[in-house]
Amino acid sequence: MSFPLVCLGNPLLDLQSDVTPEYLQKYDLKADDAILVEEKHMPIFEEVLKMDNLNVVAGGAAQNTARGAQYILEPNSVVYFGSVGRDVYADKLNEANAKYGLRTEYQVQDDIATGKCAALITGSHRSLATDLAAANHFKETHLQKPENWKLVENAKFFYVGGFHLTVSPPAIELLGKHAAETNKVFAINFSAPFIPQFFKEPLDNSLQYVDYVIANESEAAAYAESHDLADKANDLEAVAKHVAQLPKANTKRPRTVIFTHGLEPTIVVTHDHTTGENSVKSYPVRELAAEKVKDTNGAGDAFAAGFMAGLVQGKDLDKSIDVGQWAAALSIQEIGPSFPFPKQTYA
């Protein structure tokens, strides 16, 4: 079977709940951030499980994108790789993925629990505190199994969550190299400010393979600060230009950097490495009445889902961005990183 889109990331179950700003403060969490938990954060999971407004939903940033892209595309279009445990949390993820028709090829850990993310909602903000657990044990050897590598070889598009840079840079390198060598499309998401901040080296190394960078304004600012561009941290266009022109393994394709910016327009810079030309564009977001927004957990993943689905469908850059903005608007009207059923179609 050939699935055009292969995604790689950390499969997590989201334990989502509304909390007060004081609750975030107690654990030193910012309102709109994503972190890996330390020992001091561990009580959060037990506390969240007892909260009245708990929602347990399938999460994991790239898995959300994979599910969302499969939601839009025809059946058997997307395969997702990641690592889970052998437990009821993984059952929950399998259930959600089956509903969307997403094919998964999990690496399963016998003695480690499936990863979880406390998605702590304060109004339109979400603070994500993640215990990767089994997700942290993904190995590139899983991709190299003949039956899995066949799926890689048959794919034409790759999407990797930047979050996975904390887990398996060798797996990302395998996919990136393969994409560059075979002139396929390779996309990466910065995922969170701490990725360009603390995983600068593996990120910098993977960028040579990347055709599409997707990130939001705070991740762009974190990138600027860790790359001697601190004076440009708030200038999305300048940061996008910088990233777009970084060295590229496959010069047959340009590099396009897409920075979303909440309700502000999305900034897009494309750099052609053969001509040295830059193109800069900006796209307004789809307006949505504030009362329609349930929560913003997964909004960025949904944008990436729509964008990747657009590319797979052969749409041009403008249209693919629009599918991304449509998908993000759909997802924020649902609880958690989810999409409405019965399925809606892009128009």
Query: What positions carry a catalytic annotation?
Result: 301
Nearest to 269 by CA among 260, 258, 261: 258
CB nearer ligand 26A, residue 180 or residue 304? 304
70 CA to centre of own chain: 14
Region binding ligand 26A by CB under 6 A among candidate stretches 100-108, 138-146, 295-303, 310-318:
295-303
Pairwise CA distance, residues 278 & 298, whole Å = 30
Cβ-based nearer residue to ligand 26A, 188 or 244: 188
Nearest Cα neighbor of 213 from 260, 281, 154, 280 is 260
Stretch that binds ligand 26A, among 102-110, 158-166, 210-218, 271-279 (CB under 6 A): 158-166
Select the span of 21-29, 97-105, 296-304, 320-328 touching ligand 26A (CB under 6 A).
Answer: 296-304
User: Going along 217-316, which residue ranges are E strands?
Assistant: 255-261, 264-271, 278-283
By three-state DSSP, how is residue 259 classified?
strand
- From the list 278, 280, 191, 197, the residue with the least C-alpha distance to 233 is 197
Contacts of 136 (CB under 8 A, 6+ apart): 10, 83, 115, 166, 167
- Please state the closest distance from residue 167 (CB atom) to ligand 26A, in A: 7
Which of 8, 19, 61, 328 forms a contact with ligand 26A (CB under 6 A)? 61
Among 60, 85, 193, 196, the residue binding ligand 26A under the rule CB under 6 A is 60
SS3 state of residue 249: coil
C-alpha 336/C-alpha 121 separation (Å) is 10
Q: Which of residues 110-149 bind ligand 26A (CB under 6 A)?
A: 117, 119, 128, 130, 132
- Min dist CB 14 to ligand 26A, Å, is 5
Lookup result for tokens 């999409």: 339
Q: Please tell me whether residue 36 binds ligand 26A under the rule CB under 6 A.
A: yes
Residue 44: CB minimum distance to ligand 26A, A? 13
Among 4, 196, 306, 337, binds ligand 26A (CB under 6 A): 337
Residues in Cβ contact with 135 at an 8 Å cutoff, skipping those fewer than 6 apart = 10, 11, 12, 60, 82, 83, 84, 114, 115, 167
- Tokens representing 12? 């997590």
What token pair was written down for 25? 């403060």
Q: CB of 318: closest distance to ligand 26A in angstroms?
A: 25
In this structure, what token pair is assigned to residue 35?
């972190």
Closest-approach residue to ligand 26A (CB) = 59
- The least distance separating ligand 26A from the CB of residue 202, rounded to whole angstroms, comes to 13
The answer to whether residue 82 forms part of the interface with ligand 26A (CB under 6 A) is no
Q: Of 193, 300, 306, 310, which lies in the binding site for ligand 26A, with binding defined by CB under 6 A?
A: 300
# residues near ligand 26A by CB under 6 A: 23
159 binds ligand 26A (CB under 6 A): no
Half-sphere exposure of 68 (CA within 13 A, CB side): 37
How many helices (H) and strands (E) are present in the chain, helices listed first?
13, 14
Q: Residue 176 or residue 337: which is nearer to ligand 26A going by CB?
A: 337
Residue (310 or 337) nearer to ligand 26A, CB: 337
Position 256 contacts ligand 26A (CB under 6 A): no
Interface positions with ligand 26A (CB under 6 A): 9-10, 12, 14, 34, 36, 59-61, 64, 117, 119, 128, 130, 132, 161, 163, 166, 297-298, 300-301, 337
